[in-house]
Amino acid sequence: MDIKNFINNSEHIPLSGLWLDNYEPASGQVYGQIPNSNEDDIEKAYQAANAAFKDWSTTSIDERSRIMLRIADLIEENLEQLAAAESRDNGKPLWLATAVDIPRASSNFRFYGNAITQYSSDAHESVGKNTMNFTMRKPIGVVGCISPWNLPLYLFSWKIAPAIAAGNCVVSKPSEVTPATAYLLGEIVKKAGLPAGVLNIVHGLGGSCGQAIVAHPGIKAISFTGGTTTGEHIARTAAPMFKKLSLELGGKNPNIIFADCDYDKMLTTTLRSSFANQGQICLCGSRILVEQSLYEKFKTDFVARVQQLKVGPPNQPDSKVGAVVSAAHRDKILDYIAFAKANPEEYTIISGGNSILIEGHEGGYYLEPTVIEVQSNDCKLNQEEIFGPVVTIMPFKDEAHALELANGTRYGLSATLWTNDLSRTMRMSNELEAGIVWVNTWLNRDLRTPFGGVKDSGVGREGGFEALNFFTEPKNICIEY
């Protein structure tokens, strides 16, 4: 697939004439080219977005909603094509892209197409002062949306949908590692009747194309999902320009298992929270903490289940784990495993720990789902985000110890808690340093809820009206009568 930029509802080659190779993780082969865009392409996209803003921001809510619902329908109608493109581009199993990624992208547009019709202004009557205040929510103008490679269309649309629903025009950049479905979205939004310039999709590298979005003086807000280091860099560029920032960054999420939990449900869900999407979800429970009395049983049962997970080409229906996203990312994960192997006093690899060669797909980026027992929460593998099919496990003594371990990292995105004790649930949920706590479940999403992290996991919240608040500026008007 050869990919172009989508600016003003038409396809454009990069102004520099430069291209990047696009790799298929299943085989490690180049299968297409993507624009290596720079600040000139971003300027072109900005001009298109800026020109479209006056009309789009004054388009009626009903009309904006109608177009967004149409986009949602068209994504559903193109499910097969989009899922195949996502799976090929990312390495994730086709069944996963079909069941989760693409339906969620459609839901994002449907959710915000409906939410904008329910979004209202506030009014405050100051009794005794004869004044009435009302607060309007105004679209910001041109906003930037930058998304990662792990859930490509799912997260790209999670940003774009609230931005355009609120009346903004967008300059966006999907990850250069997984550009395919964002490219296909261009055709869809055009067909749905989104006016030219409202959504512009520019492809290229983070350090040049992404950086040009963040540094552009006319782009007043940035919504970013990705690594914490990149988030820090974006904040450093954007803060002196007083841009609004929403940063959804990394995680090192604890999966805390008490002996009184519903064991079978916990085991099945823990398999998913550890290895879904090859462990490449910022919400994966990468640190498994188990109450001492259950530890040995859990370890035995979990490892037995992990060893049954079939790693295979993404297009085979029985592949539970596909390929990781890139050779560079595979090597990063393997470096962590090598570190564990080199420090046996700290780490014991109790399952996996190797790359896998699959016949017919020899160049593909396949890794064994890996479980590593650690001696202490202070170790490198419990403190750094690996973002792959690698989990650590360790026991805890009691509730206080579990909390200390769970909160003992720089991250604070999500936490999962397995217990049937209601009082403990309330105590722990209250004390866990995380933006999201799941109890007896994982990645159970209601799009109305605030989504985001504390500590180094980010700034701001996505989801529900939080995202509409982010993509608007309040303006208060005070009238004395």
Ligand X SMILES: O=C(O)/C=C/C=C(\O)C(=O)O
Other C-beta atoms closer than 10 Å to the C-beta of 57 total 17
Q: Which does 206 bind (CB under 5 to 8 A by kind): ligand NAI, ligand X, none?
A: ligand NAI
Distance of alpha carbon 96 from alpha carbon 100, whole angstroms:
6
Q: Cα-atom radius of gyration of the chain, to the nearest Å?
A: 23
Residue 282 engages ligand NAI in binding (rule: CB under 6 A): yes
Distance of alpha carbon 52 from alpha carbon 476, whole angstroms:
25
Other C-beta atoms closer than 10 Å to the C-beta of 55 total 13
Residue 411 engages ligand X in binding (rule: CB under 6 A): no
Catalytic residue among 86, 248, 385, 433: 248
Cβ of residue 11: shortest distance to ligand NAI, in angstroms? 20
State the first-to-last Cα distance of the chain, in angstroms, to the nearest integer. 63
Residue 233 engages ligand NAI in binding (rule: CB under 6 A): yes
Q: Of 355-394, which residues contact ligand NAI (CB under 6 A)?
A: 385, 387
Residue 33 engages ligand X in binding (rule: CB under 6 A): no
Cβ of residue 83: shortest distance to ligand X, in angstroms? 17
Residue 226 engages ligand NAI in binding (rule: CB under 6 A): yes
Distance of alpha carbon 106 from alpha carbon 102, whole angstroms:
6
Q: Which does 445 bind (CB under 5 to 8 A by kind): ligand X, ligand NAI, none?
A: ligand X
Residue 448 engages ligand X in binding (rule: CB under 6 A): no
Among 175, 181, 370, 392, binds ligand NAI (CB under 6 A): 175
Smallest CA-to-CA distance from 332 within 375, 278, 273, 284 is with: 278
Among 84, 281, 333, 379, binds ligand X (CB under 6 A): 281
Q: Which is nearer to ligand X, 198 or 284 (CB)?
A: 284
Handedness of CA 148, 154, 160, 163 (dihedral sign): negative
Smallest CA-to-CA distance from 283 within 95, 404, 155, 166 is with: 155
Asked if residues 258 and 362 have their Cβ atoms less than 8 Å apart, the reply is: no
Among 74, 140, 155, 180, binds ligand X (CB under 6 A): 155
Asked if residues 75 and 102 have their Cβ atoms less than 8 Å apart, the reply is: yes
Asked if residues 88 and 314 have their Cβ atoms less than 8 Å apart, the reply is: yes
Residue 230 engages ligand NAI in binding (rule: CB under 6 A): yes
Binding site for ligand NAI (CB under 6 A): 146-150, 173, 175-176, 206-207, 210-211, 214, 225-227, 230, 233-234, 249-250, 282, 329, 332, 385, 387
Contacts with ligand X, residue ranges (CB under 6 A): 148, 150-151, 155, 158, 225, 248, 281-283, 445, 451
